[in-house]
Chains A and B, each alone.
Chain A
């Protein structure tokens, strides 16, 4: 049975009137690295915490490694690795002690020393989390998430608060984990991170999926160039895959200088920001529609 690692259909999580997750559908295949990308408060972490079995859903169907996470038992937990959004800031145990203890919870754990080396904490193995830097602590969190050789790993905003250098190093670490067939579900609000690590990206805003594509697919949406200028009618703007053609026509019908002429190529970031602001607009329109339906 080659079932998907994660299947989500019509997932809802409401807190009173607030819809943190609002009808989400997703299928994540085994062995892929999948990113949930979206601004803060989009519902990424709520979704992931439902998948991890920490939160109850309002409605919808969820299957994680063939099991409903709400009733996930010990054997199910043995197959998943979790890196929470919050890090373990204080502990009475050193990194090595915490890992040794954690490894003894699983049937086929990784070797503790090899794992310490894999996350680059050899020099800090006998330190407690409170003496580690933020980046080192997150490395320990990754080590704890992979120590049980999980089939599926959750990384909830793993690099929030990192400087660019630490983020690069962290990405390199995650890439080494991807080779062995582990399914990875990553949440992030950094477009660059999703683009760098993920095979596929779902963009989430207001609890809804507003795009699902490969990084290359998303990038191709940034292909249109924007031509802007001013004429008697005011400021003009045209989005086009063929800016040269637009310019030729513009030059042909304009005498002398074209005012304020500019040709710009939007970055992937512009596309993303455009999408999430559109997502907000769509979502609020839906809210209005729902309210109207409810009143009938």
Chain B
């Protein structure tokens, strides 16, 4: 009864690449997305940088602007990979756009690869803009050691990986996109406040630090500080170390949890459409 059909259609790579092109076209035509992803972190960067940027963090030579840029890069990764992705998928699901995709021969793996590639590309552009502003206006200096850029690469990849799988997972747990926006925005904002983005992490009450340590944003921000701040700033960190080992462990753990939940719960259709 079962017949094995082999597709005579386009290769998987062509399908995934085509999907990426559609994702990028949709992204660049969405004013809300463009503003949220590119303008929003930039406005914060300029705002905070101008207000407090020149202040030197006590006991160090690092200005708040430098500290803040690392935090904004971390936040940007979460915004693009987690919040924006989760809401985007939820909106597509509400509008039956996902269902329509599922009705075509596009393999699910090609769909997700296209999404992931779009997130990576957009994140790289977003980070480049933030760094350019930091260097141009807030005297942020860039690392020269290749090893430091290596650190940047793995922190970026693990952070984006964890954000993306969690974003896909959360999109299925939300009942709909409207509820999603109402739930996710305050959660992310709360994490930004306690994870060393808007405030210096060590100045946050200890119990909030313990909460922040559970989530990826704190580690992502710390990882970016280990890239963009002088190495001896690590003595001003909470445990007087960059804690790269713990950082990798937490980000990988969230990636695995996100992947597991995403695979288990992903829906192409609305919750009431089964």
**Residues of chain A having any CB pair with chain B under 8 Å:** 52-56, 66-67, 73-78, 82, 84, 86, 88-93, 97, 101-102, 104-108, 144, 148
Contact = CB atoms under 8 A, between A and B. Distances in A.
A2 to B, nearest CB: 15
B100 A107 contact: no
Main secondary structure of the interface of B (DSSP, over half): loop
25 contacts: A54-B102, A54-B268, A66-B1, A73-B5, A74-B107, A75-B6, A75-B7, A75-B105, A76-B5, A78-B9, A82-B100, A84-B100, A86-B96, A88-B95, A89-B95, A92-B26, A93-B25, A97-B25, A101-B21, A102-B104, A105-B105, A106-B9, A106-B105, A107-B9, A107-B10
B257 to A, nearest CB: 27
A34 to B, nearest CB: 19
Contacts, number: 76
A77 B1 CA distance: 18
B105 A77 contact: yes
Contact of A105 (B5, B6, B104, B268): B104
A286 to B, nearest CB: 25
A101 to B, nearest CB: 5
Nearest to B33: A92
Interface of B: 1, 3, 5-10, 14-15, 18, 21-22, 25-26, 29-30, 95-97, 99-100, 102-107, 268-269, 273-274
A92 B5 contact: no
B159 to A, nearest CB: 27
Contacts of A107: 7-10
A88 to B, nearest CB: 7
Given A88-B97, A101-B22, A106-B9, A52 B103 contact: yes
B3 A66 contact: yes
A139 to B, nearest CB: 16
List the 5 closest A-B pairs by CB distance, nearest first: A75-B5, A107-B9, A107-B8, A77-B105, A92-B29
B33 to A, nearest CB: 10
Contacts of A93: 22, 25-26
Interface-central residue, A53, A74, A82, by most chain B CB under 10 Å: A74
A77 B30 CA distance: 30
